[in-house]
């Protein structure tokens, strides 16, 4: 958990390291992309579970900064989060911050599948436009 405060609580973001055993992907619709499987096994996938920021004009960009800081503090190579399909404002905000659709996950007791979004955190180059280049901490997905 990461908290931002001024004179009072301004916002917070909560997340967990995705277990290396792949259990976090339970309910993924279709075959799990190999890059997600490999990055999970490397131990450098971090899930953002909740982001809450006070809607104050001075908090502009705070939610994005909190997420990035939490992911960086946990040395993540890939951020993941789940969003309800009907929550268009949240999906649009995440897309504007660089998050990408990666599929759908059905998590009981939810009646519908959730939108899986990912945020690659590596440097984007001509050779690795997905931002998932090999580094000392992870294996490059093939």
Gap between the Cα atoms of 141 and 121, Å rounded: 14
Q: Which domains does the chain have, with CATH numbers?
A: 2-120 (3.40.630.30)
pLDDT tens per residue, the chain (142 residues)? 656 656 656 678 889 999 999 999 999 998 888 888 888 998 989 999 988 877 766 667 778 888 888 888 888 999 999 999 899 999 999 999 899 999 999 988 878 889 999 998 865 555 554 555 444 444 434 3
> Dihedral of CA 66/71/73/74: which sign?
positive
Q: What share of the chain is helix, strand, coil (3-state, %, to 5)?
A: 25, 30, 45
> What would the pLDDT profile of 13-31 be if each residue is shown by its tens digit?
889 999 999 999 999 998 8
Is the pTM of the predicted complex or chain greater than 0.75?
Answer: yes
**Amino acid 109: pLDDT:** 84
> Dihedral of CA 125/126/130/134: which sign?
negative
């Amino acid at each position: 958990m990461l908290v931002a405060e001024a004179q009072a609580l301004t916002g917070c973001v909560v997340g967990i390291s995705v277990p290396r055993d792949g259990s976090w992907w339970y309910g993924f619709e279709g075959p799990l992309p190999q890059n997600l499987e490999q990055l999970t096994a490397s131990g450098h996938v971090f899930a953002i579970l909740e982001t809450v920021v006070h809607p104050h004009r001075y908090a502009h960009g705070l939610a994005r900064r909190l997420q990035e800081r939490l992911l960086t503090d946990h040395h993540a190579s890939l951020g993941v989060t789940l969003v309800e399909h009907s929550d268009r404002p949240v999906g649009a905000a995440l897309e504007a911050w660089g998050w990408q659709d990666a599929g759908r996950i059905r998590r009981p007791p939810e009646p519908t599948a959730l939108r899986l979004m990912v945020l690659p955190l590596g440097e984007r180059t001509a050779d690795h436009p997905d931002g998932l280049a090999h580094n000392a901490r992870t294996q490059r997905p093939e």
